[in-house]
Structure 1
Amino acid sequence: MSPTADAARVAAARAGDRHALESLLGDHLPLVYAVVRRALGADPDVDDVVQETMLRAVRHLRGLREPDGFKAWLVSIAVSQIQERARRLARHRARAVAPLDLGVAEPPDPDADVAALAEDRVDVDRELRLIAQATGFLNAAERQTLALWSQEVAGTMTRAEVAAALSLSPAHTAVRVQRMRARLDLALTVLRALRSAPRCAGLGEVAASWDAGAEPRWLKRLGRHVADCEACLLAGRRGVPAARVLALPWLLQVPAVLTEGLPALVGAGSAGAGGAASGGVAALVADAVRRVAGYLNVKIVGTAGVGVAAATAAVLAVTATAPPASPPTPPAPPPQAAPATTPSGTAPTPAGSPSPSPPAAARHVVTAQGVTSADLYVAVDGDDSGPGSAARPYATLARAVDVVQPGQVIALRAGTHRPAATIAITTSGLAARRITLSNLVGERPVVDGSALPGGQWLINQTGGYWTVQGLELRNAPSHAYVCRSCHDNVFRRLSMHDNGDTALTLRDAGTRGNQVLDSDFARNHDTADRGGSADGLAIKNGGGPGNVVRGNRFAENSGDGLDLSNFTDPVTVVGNWAYGNGHNRWNIAAFNGPGNGVKLGGGSPAPAVAHVVVDNASWDNAGYGFTEAGNPGRLTVTNNTAYRNGGTGFAFVYSQARLRRNVALANGRDVQVGGGVDDAGNSWGQDGWATTVLRSGDPATARGERAPTGQLPSTTFLLNRKDKTMGASMTAGAAAPPPA
């Protein structure tokens, strides 16, 4: 997430906007956990330190002087809490140091390719366990530095943010990192030499009186021998460098226990802060963290999970855990005929008999690039009468979603799947046992709706706790995917294009806690309404808190890019691009496409809703770039760019919107605001803003391919030379997700 986006959300949170704060927590709680876990390893105090960090952030959010430095500020609090824990331990008896596992290991391939390593979980586990053991040789300050540096190599923190978190200058930070890396490399070399077969006799003599505890004093003794021994150096340097392992994108699993005690902690924080305003923010934090808890256990945060993954291999897998004491009751599916067999091959439960407990889900790696294994498989050459295994997959997705259980993973294999009827998803997962529908890593399955009867939807879902990712949905005669009263779902890395109505629609009451991430919605159009109905993404005609739209492209649809018509609760819209919507590319007679990039209201009358709109870009649309569409609410619109839209760039006439640091250039009309709008500090109120300040006015690179993990392509399009704090950052939520 860009610093300007953080600043906007901090401002909105201070003003009492629960959804801005929700977005902050969803992006930064995994980072805090990763830093603390890296510094403390498997210490039982990890969760306590994370909780105390979040509590202190609650207490002092209003005192943050530079909101655009929120990430570094929050991490600095975590570092302070890590240091405080070290001081507490120093005042008490030192804890026993667990002996290292020095069993002989298969020597790693010195020519191992990192890409291949990323696909081989066994090798990754080995390297990560070794790094975790080597960390024990570092002192407390070095472990803190490693915790932050691991996030730097993972791409979730910059060197400047690391320096700020350590309260050091960048130059001093570089020296500290260099010293830490030297000791880490020495520790890894020593451990590999100790585990080599055969082990050097001289090293064995030095280690004869060692209790195998990873203590700094022993690193010096063992390191002296290794440094002077050619055999030990050769054995110790066979392995993948730590920086390359730490840069792999792995799952960050945040324990649910972090949320269980938050209400009481936040209450204490409110009392300690001594103010209604601070208490209000604290209450928002408690509620927001509870909401994100359901998906954090499988959230991919770009490469942010590397730090914690390196501390323990256990966090690399999605583990099926027992549901909470009082789990939410998922909506019951409509009655259906019992299948002949279950996925395990056993007979189904007779009608009227008590349902057996759901089987424990297998352990599967769920990354932003897909899954490497699953409980159920679907392939174009499969057979629905089979067990749905990798060897005997189902033939249809409808069969898989009909029998899937909470906690299970469905892998849709590559190829073009052509359902003959709407796929109905009625089973819900649980907060601690989500259901995942995904591609396999390296495969791109296509669900083609061209065989459906006219007017039918491709997928119709109710319920929640699903992660749907890595699919291409196309050629539906009507809507591609409709989710009705859905909650706590994640839609990620989807491509929905050339459908006969809106690509993805979230609608009806109870639409809450959903995330739409890193997806493309393009060239969807309808003929019944002469192009007026088919949007890229619509969250409309309903209500529910906590919905987030981030890192998406809404391109060349006949209707609007993003449509929030008649939705009664705030939606957080961060880091999206909307372009080319509303142009008649299909020769539709009497074309009626509105062509707004980002539509933030609508209805008769439009409800008053305080949507949060940060760091988005909207260009070359036939209509408005950003419009309230009659929404009279208190919208937050910060760091967005409107460029070359046929209508007005920013149209906010009836709302009480607050517009800050937005840029509008070369639109039919750059801005139109009403008397209730606060629009201080935007390009249209300043001198010197013209298209000549843009680094690039060519959107070609912005239309390019995404990164394998879903991030939008790198581009200089719409970036400006005049003031880098103005307009969209065009990084589009590069800190990922929430997720899955």
Structure 2
Amino acid sequence: MAQHRPDQRPVDSRNGTGLVLAARAGDRAALAELTTRSLPTVYHLVRGILGDRAEVDDVVQDCMIRMVRGLPDLREPDRFRAWLTIIAYRQVSDELRRRPMPRDPFVEPDQLPDAGDVAERTVFEALLSGQRRELVEASRWLAPDDQHLLASWWQEALGDLSRAGLADMLGIGEPHLAVRLQRMRGRLESARAIEAALRQRSGCAELSALSRTWTGERSPVWRKRFDRHVRDCVRCAAHRAELIPPERLLHGLSVVPVPAALVAAVRAAVEAEPGLPAHGPAPQLTSHKLALAGTAAAALVLGAIAYAVHVTPDPGPVPAVAAPAAPSPAGAPPSRASGSPSPTVRASSAAPGPAPVTGVTVADIFVAPDGDDAADGSRQRPFATLNRAVEVVRPGQTIALRGGVHRLTRPVEIDTDGTRAQQIVLSGYSGEHAILDAAGVPSGKQAVTQRTSFWTVQDLEVRGSRSHAWTCNSCRFTTFRRLSVHDNHRSGLTLRDPGTTGNQVLDSDFYRNYDPRAAGSAGIGLGVKFGDGGGNVVRGNRAFHNADDGFDFGAFRSPITIEDNWSYGNGQNRWNAEGWSSNGFGFSLGGGETTPSAAHRVRNNAAWDNRGDGFGAEANTGRLSLADNTAYRNGGDGFDLSGGRGTAVDNLSAANGQQPARIGPDVSGEGNSWDRGEWRDSSLRSVDPAVAEGRRAPDGGLPRTSFLSTREGIGADLTG
């Protein structure tokens, strides 16, 4: 008879819903068993997305504590798995918003190591070796919805979830699910064939020619272009026959077990919870059960990788390099290393693509992540912080931020003015990708506050502020261009206060700004608000996927020129926040605590897929001028100019949720679509936004696309 060791306990034999019900009812042993079984699922999901980052253990612990706290209120115990998955996804998403994770750079096919060289390095690299690696890479060619569906389908493919359970988790019917899965798998197989053809270097001249025009971005648009060739080319299509069905790729995979230290930490955290059920023996998490069966874990890992792509889109050109370990020799080209996706560095035999016209090559003050504020700020001895650089900068000087992540720990205050003849420039360094990460700035503190004249701020990424990312107060003759500002709480960039004069915001992206405390009532892309001043221009920008408005010009009392901007997907509850309340306008041309009267000039802008109106006057009584703008598929009105004044000429409104346009008696119009009958999708040359929402041009300009174009010459022209 086997002896019972003191550290062993009987295993709870209840399964599924019964175990959840017992734990919810207060059975401490059932709770311990449920936690033991759930921890590997959460760990591999979180680790699969965040990788080896130090935050993994903290996020996992937080998920498990939230599970314990929320269990008494779980109304549908049979949906426990979906509920726990949602908790994990939300916590990971919150972590990514605080410290967004750079995506892997594209590597040319002929620069990749052979699968056999990779397979033995680490367990996780083994998961991605050979066709398994190609399978994960293939998922990057899919649209976000397909990537999310693929991540969920792994669980069904391995018997970890029934078809009915999968449909229930996704909130759709089984027939609809079957259709979506069939289409997704077809696109996945096309992408796998493309990956195989690129990696095998078959010698196909047409494929080589197509590859030379490729930006290096795996996207649905490029998948379609490559697929048209691969499926019809005898040489390239031959690789399809060699592909193993994706279900079979999961067999025999091993995974990294949950670390013992994490098991102990979760056990301590769960046991310390004040809301722990009161009856039954004290719960004990058992580490010997925390290695998942290989196939189930593989589903989680590969699914999580696909989901990581889903939650971290890369909307713009962000060539990235690691922080330089030492200054490059004079005249040497800047090196590129891992980080966000970058324009492809071609092999010498390939024709080079156009180089991005971004960054400065000469500067007076340098800042690098591995610098020292006690240094002199030279190229050889850079400062460590932007704070130090803006303290010492003088008119006519240029500050260059070297590539890498510059982690702010306190707010940056910029108060030194330039002059018309001696402007001050703050820029990324040529060919490098400088990121200002404001996650370390105390909550509620603006990351950067600027009160200056005659500055240029360009070629930077700003992220992670728990307040406003960048605010320019009463700035004069300051230019912002080629910025990527995202994942901040209150706003991306805001120009405000009286005396805001002669400023320009050009060719920049503002996205995914969201305040988790505001449930949609905060988190705009770009704002010019609460002030006055002439000569301000907003041109060539995109504001998208923000919690509230894309562009907000509330309570600004002077005319602004707003032209060639795109606003899409704003106001949607992408964070599954309770009590969601968002205006979600594409362009808010008024509003605020005081009624503005500003004659904004609004020309050649486009708004689509926003929660609210495409364009809204919002009680602005100034003589607005709207010409050649397009509102498409917004949840509210295309144009709401009721109560406003001015002119509306040659604007297009189609497929919006409410009225094409609400026009007051003081607005005169000519040539608008709502005067020409109903407009449908068939009235437009293209309703596919993939290119418009994709990578910018090498010079930072908007991508050229036929999206929303018409043959009648009305509405916005997105072809450039």
Structure 1 length normalisation: TM-score?
0.49
